[in-house]
Chains A and B, each alone.
Chain A
Amino acid sequence: MATDLRISNISKIYPGCIANDNVSLQFKSGKIYALLGENGAGKSTLVKILSGVISPDNGEVFLNEKNLKLSSPLDAKKNKIGMVFQHFNLFETLSVFENLSIDATEDNKSLRIRINEILKKYNFSIDLDVPVLNLSAGQKQKVEIIRCLLRSPKVLIMDEPTSVLTEQETEELFISLKKFCDEGILIIYITHKLKEVLSLCDEVAVMRKGKVVSVSQTQNERVETLANKMVGQKLAKIKKKINISKNKDEIFKVKHLNFYSDDPFETNLINLNFSVKKGECLGIAGISGNGQNELFQILSGEIITPDTSIIFRNKEIAKLNPKQRREYLMAFSPEDRISQAAVPELKIYENVALNNFKSSNFFEKGLVNEKKIKEHSKKILSDFSVNTDNVELKSQFLSGGNLQKLILGRELITAPELLICYNPTWGLDVGAINYIHETLIKINDQEKSTILISTDTEELLKLSDKIAVIYKGKLSKIMPSEEVTPEKLGVLMGGGSID
C-alpha cells in the first residue's frame, strides 16, 4: 500500500529562535528523501516533531490524509513511524534479543521467529544472544533498524546514520535502505554528507534557518549546488598543498606506546610508533571506537602510560600532565566539545581560562585575574570569528560551530608548535567545517605541526600530509597521503590489509 506523508505549515518557536518556520513538505513511498541542512537549520526539530518527541506550536502532520496527533514517541510508533537516531538507544550489557524484547508486546518465541525472518529477508548476520557491547557500530545500527522493522513501519527516519560506519557498512546500509524503499516503506534520510544524498536519495529538501529553501530531484543536483543551497553562499573550495619537503626536523616522536585497560569499554593500544615533522599534518583514520579516544588521551597527558616514550622538541614529555605539556607548546582539541573541551554551564571567558598556560597570567598568585582573561577572550572571539563578542555569555548558547571555533581559538592563540585534534568538525555545518579546515591548513603553512585524529576520511585526505589507520588499537603503516584513496582507507578501517 502506498504511503503518503504530508507536513503542513509546521512551526516551532523556541525563546529567541524560530526552529521551524511554516514548514510544508510532502513525501510519497517508493522514494528515498533526503533532509539536508546545517546545524540549527531545524531538521532535528522537524524530525523530533515527526517522532512525537516534541509537539509543534502550529501545523499538522498527515499520514495517508489522516491527521496525526503526535504527542509522544508512543504515538509515532502506533502510527507506524519508525526512527533510528544517530546515538543508539541500546543497553550495552543486554543481549541483542533482550534489547529487542524490551518493548515488544508478543511472547519471546514468536518474537524470535519474526526477528529471524527479518534477518533472513535482509541478509543481516547478527547473533541474537551476544551482548550488544560486542557488536560493531554497523551491527548496533542494524539492531535499531530491526527494532523498527518489527513494528512494520510505513515511515522510517534515519538520523545521520553513517557517521559511525565504515565505507563497506555504509554500502550495506544503502542496499538495505533501497530494499525497504522497494517494499513500500517511506524513507527520510537526514545527513550532512552531500555525497550520500547524491548516491542514495531520489529527492532532497534543503533547510536553512528553519525554512525549507529548496526541494529538488537529486539527479539535477551536484555537491556544489547542494552545499551552496545549504549555507546560502558560494563556498570557496579548499585543498591543501601537500608539504613535500622531506628533510625537516622531527618535532614529535612516539615510541612503544602501549595501553592496557581493565575497562571492557576501552580499547587496548598495541605498540604504536609514529613521528611528526615540522609543518606536517599526520592524519589518523579509523572508525570510532578503535582506540582513538585512548590515543588522544595519552597524547594529551590525561592518561600516563608507563614505558612509553614521547619526545617533543627534544624533550621527554611522556610523564607530564596536560597542563605541563601545554607549557612546552602543545595544544589539544578533544572530540567531545560539550563535556570535555568546554563546559556548557560556564561563561565563555571561564572556558577560555581552562587553557591556563604560564605566560597567560590568568591566575596571579592563585587569584583570578578576570580582566586579563576577558581581554584575552575578546581577542579570541574576534580573531576566530565567533559570532558573539559577549564573553559573559554562557557557552551553551553557542552553536556547535562557534563553540569549536572558540575551542580552537583558545588552543591556537598560544601559537603552539603542535596541535592534536580529534574529530574537530564532528557534527558541524559546511560553513564551520570550511573555516576550521582553513585554520588547520594555515597552521601547517606557518610551520606548525598537527595530528588529526578523525573518522571523516574526506577530511583526512584533504588535510593530511601522511595518513595511518588505527584498527582495534593497532596502527597501520604510515602512508603519504597522495598514495591514499578513500577505498584503501576503507579497507584498512574495516580491518583488511593492502599491500
Chain B
Amino acid sequence: MALYFFTPFIAILLTILGGGIIFYILGFNPIEALKFYFITPIANLYGFSELLLKATPLCLIAIGLSFCFKSNNWNIGAEGQLTFGAIVGGGVALLFYNQEGFYILPLVIIAGAIGGMIFALIPAILKTYFNTNEILVSLMLVYVSKLLLDYLVVGPWSNPEGFNFPETRQFSNSSRMPLLFEGLRIHAGIFLALAAVMLSWFILYKTYLGFQIKVSGLSLKTAKYAGFKGKTMILVVFMISGACAGLAGVGEITGPIGQLHRMVSPDYGFTAIIVAFLGRLNPFGIIFASLVVALTYLGAETAQIFLQIPKYTGQVFQGMILFFLLASDYLLFFKVKILNLKKNELRN
C-alpha cells in the first residue's frame, strides 16, 4: 500500500534521470540543462505564480477525471469538454463585451461548467443507452469541439475590428477572473481548483455516491449485485468530469487569455490524464501531481529560450512520467528474472 503511493516519486525520479540522458545525447551538460528545466522556471516569484497558473486547470480537470476513472469510465475527452466549456462560457462573455457588472463573471463561469457538462454527457448517454465505447467517442469529440471553436473564431464570432485575425473581441473586465497580485497572472481560478479538491474529497469519501463510485471501480459485478443504479452513475461521473473541464476552460479564457482564439489550451485536457494517474486519483495527490506536471510546461518554455530546443520537450517529459509510472507500477509488483537457457534446453 505504501508502495502504491511511493511509485509516483520513483517515476518522477526516473523521468528526471531519463531527461538528463536525453540532454546529454543532445550535447548539453545534463545538470545544467535540468537546472534550466526544473529550477530556473520557479526560481522567482513570477515563475512560481506561473507554476500555479498552469497547475490550476490541470488540477481541476484531473479532479473531474478521477471521478470517471475511479468508477471504470474512461473519459479521454476532457480536452474537448474544456474547449466546449470555453466556447459556451466565452459566448456568454461576448454577449456582455461592452457591459460591466458583478453578475457577469459568475454567469460566464456557470455557463462554462454547463457547457463542459453537456459535452461530457454525449459519450455518457451513448455509452449507457447505445453501448458505445466511451474512449473512442469522447476522444473524437475533442476534434469536433476544436473545429467548432475554429469555425467560430474565424467566422461568426471573430472580432469585427480584428483585421481578420482568428480571434474574438476582448472580454470586458467584468468577465475576467480577478487577479490575486498586481503584476502576476495568477487569478481567482485557483480557488475554484482548491474548492474542487475539497468537494471531491468529500464526495468520494463521505457520500453514498462516492461509495458507489468506489465499489463500481473495484468490481462492476458487485455494483450490479448491490443494485446500484449503474446508468445514473455513469451519467453523474461524466457530468462532474465535464463540469470540471469546462471550468478549467473558462478559467483560461477569463484568466490569462481574455478572449477566445484557436489555442485556448495547450492540451491541458490530455495532460490532466497523466496528472490524475500520477496523483493516484486521490484529491490531494492530484494537487501535488498537477504542480509537477505544470513544471514540465514551464521548463519546456525556459529550455526553448535558453537552450534553443523546441518546447515540445515538455511533452517528452510528460510522456516519460506516464511511461515510468506505468513501468514502475508493473515492475514493482512482479519479479524480473533473466533466464539463461541453452539452445538445446529450449528445444526439449
Contacts and interface: CB of A to CB of B under 8 A. Distances in A.
A4 B209 CA distance: 60
B226 A323 contact: yes
A78 B226 contact: no
A355 B218 contact: no
B340 interface: no
A318 interface: no
Interface string A62-89: 0000000000000000100000000000
> What's the interface size class on A, roughly?
20 to 34
B227 A346 contact: no
B215 A322 contact: no
Nearest to B203: A366
A497 interface: no
Given A321-B227, A326-B227, A340-B221, A78 B211 contact: no
A355 B219 contact: no
Contacts, number: 66
A334 interface: yes
A343 B348 contact: no
Contact of A367 (B208, B218, B224, B225): B208
B224 A354 contact: no
B342 interface: no
Interface in B209-254: 209-211, 214-215, 218-219, 221-222, 224-229
Contacts of A345: 218
Given A340-B219, A340-B221, A368-B206, A355 B226 contact: yes
Interface string B182-223: 000000000000000000000001111111001100110110
Contact of A343 (B208, B210, B222, B229): B222
Most buried by A among B206, B214, B221: B221
A78 B207 contact: no
B215 A346 contact: yes
B222 A354 contact: yes
B133 to A, nearest CB: 17
B227 A323 contact: yes
Interface string A321-352: 11111100000101010011111011000100
A355 B207 CA distance: 16
Contacts of B222: 339-343, 354
Nearest to A302: B224
A428 interface: no
Nearest to B209: A366
A342 B207 CA distance: 19
Contacts of B221: 336, 339-340
B343 interface: no
Q: In the complex, which of the residues B205, B211, B229 has the most CB atoms of chain A within 10 Å of its own CB atom? A: B211
B227 A363 contact: no
A334 B225 contact: yes
Interface string B47-86: 0000000000000000000000000000000000000000
A300 interface: yes
Contacts of B207: 363, 366-368
Given A340-B219, A367-B207, A105 B347 contact: yes
A317 to B, nearest CB: 12
A78 B225 contact: no
A444 B269 CA distance: 58
B208 A105 contact: no
B208 A363 contact: yes
A13 B229 CA distance: 44
A340 B226 CA distance: 9
B142 to A, nearest CB: 32
- Nearest 5 pairs of A and B residues by beta carbon: A323-B227, A322-B227, A363-B208, A340-B221, A354-B226
24 contacts: A78-B348, A105-B347, A105-B348, A300-B225, A321-B229, A322-B224, A322-B226, A323-B226, A323-B227, A332-B225, A340-B222, A343-B218, A343-B219, A346-B214, A346-B218, A350-B211, A353-B211, A355-B226, A356-B226, A363-B208, A367-B206, A367-B207, A368-B206, A368-B207
Given A350-B214, A368-B207, 4 more contacts: A325-B227, A332-B225, A334-B225, A367-B207
